[in-house]
Amino acid sequence: MIPLRIMQPDGKNEFQNYINRIRSDPSIQKPDLNRHPFSHEFSPQVMIDESPRFLSKMEMAEYLGRIFIQANLGRENVIGENGLWTWIAYLWFDQLTTNNSGNRQFREVARYICSSDYTDYYRHLVAGPYYIYSLHGKNNSKVFLSSPIYEHNDFIEQIASRQFIISHPNLIEVFSILYFNKTSGKPKRGAQSRQRAGNIRRFVMVIQQLELTYDIYSMSPEQIINILPQEFSEWKR
């Protein structure tokens, strides 16, 4: 266990340089950024596992939620601490870049260095899942967080990127009802396909159309489901 820290600008620059260099030279060692001036300890002190093994984004988000609660911290105390999320990605960098086959994959920098710009914030592999989990709890987050922590799935890309949807619990409950299979514990097959009627991209477009004529944000999930067009019928079952 190690005390939680907040990455500082010097640390962010060093971390970004390391990410860029390791793409071409996987043998280079991760720099020690757990010291001044690269980072400083978070207050109050929160102890965090240095090398956990999470099977899914959900496990990771639940773990973070648990250690924050134990420290009497609410989501409002951590959501905006971009340096905190960058430091956690630095701490868990090996797991965030190693797939289930043991191969390393290095994605865009925004996956590891947390941005204050929401168009990149939700793409962060640690901050994004915690943001969704802290808003919607376990049941309605499963459709987004069932995948491995090193993946950025299309459910997050299409829905979490749109604050007019992700910030409204009624819409997220509808989304979960339509696209999550409770029996398998995974998203329904074909939901991410561009060719399937009523896919998740169509959901976004239809919600944008419906909000022009309905006060959709005050409607219950059942009321919203009832006004969805015929193309969503197979997802309602």
* pLDDT one-digit tens code per residue, 27-83: 899 999 999 999 999 999 999 999 899 999 999 999 999 999 999 999 999 999 999
The count of structural domains within the chain is 2
- H or E element in which residue 5 lies: strand 5-7
Domain termination site, one of 114, 129, 150: 150
Q: Are 4 and 108 within one domain?
A: yes
Q: Are 20 and 78 within one domain?
A: yes
Provide the H-helix boundaries in 92-198. Answer: 93-96, 118-121, 127-145, 154-155, 163-166, 169-179
Q: Are 216 and 233 within one domain?
A: yes
pLDDT band at 230 (very low <50, low <70, confident <90, very high): very high
Domain termination site, one of 94, 121, 150: 150
Domain termination site, one of 103, 119, 150: 150
Q: Are 87 and 160 within one domain?
A: no
Amino acid at residue number 121: Y
Q: What CA–CA distance (Å, rounded) separates 177 from 115?
A: 31
Q: Are 48 and 164 within one domain?
A: no
Q: Which residues pair with 187 in a beta bridge?
A: 180
Q: Are 175 and 93 within one domain?
A: no
Q: Are 112 and 209 within one domain?
A: no
Q: Are 186 and 110 within one domain?
A: no
Q: What CA–CA distance (Å, rounded) separates 233 from 215?
A: 22
Domain that holds residue 67: 1-150
Q: Are 166 and 146 within one domain?
A: no
Q: Which residues pair with 128 in a beta bridge?
A: none
pTM, whole model, 2 decimals? 0.90
Please give the pLDDT value at position 92: 97
User: How far out from the chain centre does Cα 26 lie?
Assistant: 26
Q: Are 25 and 63 within one domain?
A: yes
Task: Give the tens place of pLDDT for each residue, 135-193.
Answer: 999 989 999 999 999 988 888 888 888 888 898 999 999 999 999 998 888 899 888 88
Q: Are 105 and 209 within one domain?
A: no
SS3 category, 47: strand
